[in-house]
Structure 1
Amino acid sequence: MIRAERKNMIEFIEKVRGITKEQLAYMTDAEIEYIYELYYYNHEEIAE
């Protein structure tokens, strides 16, 4: 994962779930990607 992708995912997770950057800083790329996908697709379904 490139740095810009990770940054965008972290910003989205912060806004949607209120998880802090400190909590996300200790997570691996795989963990962040999993959380992002889980909340992004859930958020997308609600928006439709």
Structure 2
Amino acid sequence: MSRQERKNMVHFIERMRGLDSGQLKHMTDQEIEHIYNTLYFKLENQE
């Protein structure tokens, strides 16, 4: 994952779950991607 992709995913997660970047910066790319996908698909299915 590129640095910009990770930054965008972290920003999305922060806004949707109310987390701060300090909580996310120690996570792996795979963990970030999993959380992002879970939130994104939940949001998509609500519409």
Report the TM-score, using the length of structure 2 for normalisation: 0.94
Report the count of equivalent residues. 47
Q: Which runs of 5+ in 1 are unaligned?
A: none
Q: CA RMSD in A?
A: 0.6
Q: Which runs of 5 or more residues in structure 2 are unaligned?
A: none
Structure 2 counterparts to residues 1-20 of structure 1, below 5 A: 1-20=1-20
1:27 corresponds in structure 2 to 27
Q: Distance in 2 between matches of 1:19 and 1:44?
A: 20
- Dislocated runs of 4+, deviation >3 Å: none
State the identity %: 53
Question: How big is the shift at 1:45?
Answer: 1.1
